[in-house]
Amino acid sequence: MRYDELYNKKDIKTFEDIAKLLDKLDKEKWILDELKKEIMGLRRGEVKKEDTHRRARIARHFTENCQLMISKLLRYDRDKKIDRTMNKLIKIQGNGEQILRENPIMQTKPPIDVLKWDSLPNRYALNLKGVKELRKGWGLHTKPLSEMGLSVTMAFMPRNHVQLFHYHPQSEHSLNLGAEIQGDYRDKGFEKTFKIKNEEVAYFEPETIHRLENPNVSINKNISVKSGEAILKWKADYYDEEIREGYGGVLKAHETKKDGNHSVKTHNIKDKHYSYQLEILKIKNGGQVDFLDESALYMYVVDGALKVTTSDKTLRCRENDIIVVDPEIRFTLTSYSKSRIYRVIQQ
């Protein structure tokens, strides 16, 4: 199967081109079922990153082409034929996205490991102009699909990038890890905006049509915790026809504790959909922090470089790597530079 042959916008000029390429994808989609069977049979510690990347590369053949065709389809006046085509594309895209949510934590070896950033497969979200936004993610658990529990999604917004308006039945909390960005949402047909500074959490109420914008000249990094339901019931607002109430803003409440060579900023997230704490651990150059937790830890290195040591093992990690630790494992983090660590404490 040649899964690299459709990524050319010049191939899609007319509705007939879209119909032709959709028919091709529809005939090829059986392979997604085979890939899902592979994923569901995975065992932690026995998964090779090359196999994860192979599955993701094939899945992107479906997801990116569907998104590209959807953006082209929106140029046509809407009718039943357009709607049928759109629905087929959305369904195939959704099947491909599930393959891209293979949980890379399955690659790690217990009881403690560092998941390197290049081990996580890439996936891309396209906006209405067809501009790609890099996404990566992992489950806060050791099940084969990230959506089988709480999971984390990283978004890397290109400069001057505007996301696609979307909504879901769960609330959303996005932590900004870069320069100031903008949150947009619709309320009763009116578009409203607010600013999100570094290390602030943007909040959108359930069913709110919303998006993020990066007005900066550099890539913005933001991170969200999502439930399986929020992922599976995600919907794009392609036609701007929904008139509904909505709300978005910044969660101001947080707590910062300092302890010698490190500090911890905590955001408490609690509503009827979620209950967890976001922690940003900041360690000074040369600082050490000891850990022994009852729960598993999934610690994302926002920036910096660190050493992870146990009684019989030493691991090294740097920006964008993930430290994965099983319950009741004693270890120490030693920072080689100013470092920030992000983690989610489930309640």
Site of tokens 């910096």: 304
pTM of the entire predicted model: 0.94
Determine the pLDDT at residue 241: 73
Below-50 pLDDT ranges, the chain: 1-7
List Cα–Cα distances, 283 to 60, 94, 173, 333, in angstroms: 37, 40, 25, 9
**209 touches 246 (CB < 8 A):** yes
Helix axes 15-28, 30-40, angle to 10 degrees: 40
**What distance separates the 2 farthest-apart alpha carbons in the chain?**
66
Q: Are 126 and 64 in contact (CB under 8 A)?
A: yes
Cα 129 from chain centre: 20
Per residue in 293-309, pLDDT (tens digit) is 999 999 999 999 999 99
Where do we find the tokens 């570094």? 198
Q: What is the pLDDT of residue 243?
A: 81
Cα-to-chain-centroid distance, residue 309: 28
Alpha carbons 244 and 137: distance in angstroms, whole number: 30
Contact 234, 182 (CB under 8 A): no
C-beta separation of 196 from 182 below 8 A: yes
Q: Of 301, 302, 294, nearest to 327 (Cα)?
A: 294
Residue with tokens 């070896």: 109
